[in-house]
Amino acid sequence: MLKLPIGIQSFEKLRTSDCAYVDKTALLFELVKNRWYYFLSRPRRFGKSLLLSTLKAYFQGKKELFEGLAIAGLEQAWETYPVLYLDLNVGQYDSVEGLLEALNSNFIDWEDKFGIKPVMTDPAQRFKYIIKFIAQNVGKDVVILVDEYDKPLLQAIDNEPLQQDFRNILKAFYSNLKTCDEYIRFAMLTGVSKFSKISLFSDLNNLTDISLDERYADICGLTSDEIEHHFSEHLEAFAQKEGTDKAAIMAQMQQMYDGYHFSKSASKDMYNPFSVLNALDKCDFDNYWFSTGTPSFLIKLLQNGDYDLREFSKGELWASDLAAKESLKQEPIAMFYQTGYLTIKGYDKELGMFHLGFPNREVEQSFLKFLLPRFTGNCSKSALISQRKPILLMILYGKPTTNNGQIFA
């Protein structure tokens, strides 16, 4: 029985540690061959880091790690490229200095690796110089992979002046993905949210957003077929412990952890990989994903605002509002979707509207039991009405409120 890759975000470590691996490399091959610049939004612990780590190994030409995988029969050249991997998930972004320290740490690593003498202090200019130097001196275009690009912005969600400082720094920093196009072979940014209306993305019109692309809906996460194929022995062990069969375990697994949709058609049901792997490991169903920690920015967002959602009916949201706006406080429902607490249940093509809801039992139970009391003070339904908390009423009861706080029939 292969090991369960719980918490492993390194593709190389996973492939050299006798762990089960769900092969997504055919989709990665499509990415690297079809276009050059991508953006992907997915909830936390959904496999974004492993995805970027796999791309890193591919562009470094580590062919031996891909033996037996789909891409081994697709790729012939296995060219190597210099890779700049930026992980912003690591860092405390409570000040401008915190962000600059995180960027500088990566600059130093890259400069040491490629023998670059620092000649710039401005982050954007320094990044540009590094990209250009590597491409000209190594003789190969650069691959840029950014994990959790939005972490600084999310940590500063309740501090608008600091968030504006972060936006200014990151806008100039990320603009190199366009201005240095002649030196870049491939680039991909991942994160929880997409700030569609702010200046950070306004200049990056060369990024292809695949967050809702049907072709890549299953690039992160697990499908039922993948679970049954790659973890059959673990399912059997779980079934034996429970005195039942694999079909019964999969049925309960579906109720607990399935139901995520990342396309307008909502045709592919995706399981939360973190919860599935932990359930198989412990042979027990529990709220594993939620227990890893509720994003503090989500609680701050809800505590600091009173949102009128009368324009939404039964959890509906305009397609143009599914991404975060310049001020996240303007559209909290989009953040509920992007963080994984809500998911797509349907799409009205004619109206251009999404219908959202809880993806599964784990999220619904966890939200009602643990998250809701943290910003309602254990309020009853009548108290929520009197306090005019329409966002909570909509999520809990599926109906918006009128001006005086009464629920529509």
Is 402 part of any domain? no
C-alpha to C-alpha distance for 141 and 245, rounded to whole angstroms: 52
Q: Which two tokens stand for residue 13?
A: 């470590």
C-alpha span between 125 and 130 (Å, rounded): 9
Domain count, the chain: 2
- Phi then psi for residue 385, to 5 deg, are -65, -45
pLDDT of amino acid 133: 97
Same domain, 36 and 155: yes
Q: Are residues 204 and 324 in the same domain?
A: no
Domain boundary residue, one of 194, 216, 238: 216
**pLDDT at residue 146, rounded to an integer:** 96
Tell me the two tokens of residue 355: 């219908």
Residue 353 lies in domain: 296-397
In a shared domain, residues 204 and 300: no
Tell me, yes or no, whether 82 and 195 share the same domain: yes
Token pair, residue 258, equals 């399935």
Rounded to an integer, what distance in angstroms lies between the CA atom of residue 159 and that of residue 164?
Answer: 9
259 and 359 Cβ atoms separated by less than 8 Å: yes
Shared domain check, 176 and 51: yes
Runs of H (alpha helix) within 37-80? 48-59
Question: CB of 118 within 8 A of CB of 126?
Answer: yes
In a domain, residue 2? The reply is no
**pTM of the full structure:** 0.88
239 — phi, psi (to 5°)?
A: -65, -40
How would DSSP label each residue in 382-394?
A: HHHHHTT-HHHHH
Q: Is residue 265 part of a domain?
A: no
Q: Burial of 373 by CB count in 10 Å (0-12 exposed, 13-18 middle, 19+ buried)?
A: exposed
Element (H, E) at 263: none
Q: Which of 163, 190, 216 is the last residue of a domain?
A: 216
Would 195 be classed as within a structural domain?
A: yes
Q: Which two tokens stand for residue 213?
A: 């692309």
Which residues are 87's β-sheet partners?
147
Contact between 115 and 174 under an 8 Å Cβ cutoff? The reply is: no
Q: Is residue 255 part of a domain?
A: no
Domain with residue 107: its CATH number is 3.40.50.300
In this predicted structure, what is the pLDDT of residue 324? Answer: 56
At residue 381, the pLDDT reads: 52
Q: Is residue 405 part of a domain?
A: no
Q: Which residues pair with 38 in a beta bridge?
A: 188, 208
- For 22, 78, 269, 404, the CA distances from 51, given in Å and listed in that order, are 11, 18, 19, 48
Asked if 74 and 165 sit in the same domain, the reply is yes
**Is 198 found in the same domain as 310?**
no
Chain-centre distance for alpha carbon 374: 24
Strands 37-41 and 208-209, sheet pairing: parallel
Residues 110 and 199 in one domain: yes
Is the domain of 23 the same as that of 117? Answer: yes
Question: Do 199 and 167 meet the contact criterion of CB atoms below 8 Å apart?
Answer: yes
Closest Cα to residue 315, out of 260, 371, 388, 395?
Answer: 395
Q: Which amino acid is at 70?
A: A
pLDDT in tens, the chain (409 residues): 899 999 899 999 999 999 999 999 999 999 999 878 999 999 989 999 999 999 999 999 999 999 999 999 999 999 999 999 999 988 889 999 999 999 999 999 999 999 999 888 899 999 999 999 999 999 999 999 999 998 998 888 778 899 889 989 999 999 999 999 999 999 999 998 876 545 566 667 778 999 999 999 999 999 999 999 999 999 999 999 999 999 999 999 999 999 999 998 877 899 999 999 999 999 999 999 877 766 666 666 666 655 543 433 346 777 777 765 555 555 677 778 888 888 999 999 888 888 888 899 998 887 776 655 655 555 555 555 455 455 555 555 444 434 333 333 3
Helices (H), 160-295: 160-174, 176-179, 199-202, 224-230, 232-242, 246-257, 273-282, 288-291
Which residues, listed in sequence order, are joined to residue 86 by a DSSP beta bridge? Answer: 146
| Rounded CA separation 330/157 (Å) | 12
Distance between CA atoms of residues 280 and 246, nearest Å: 12
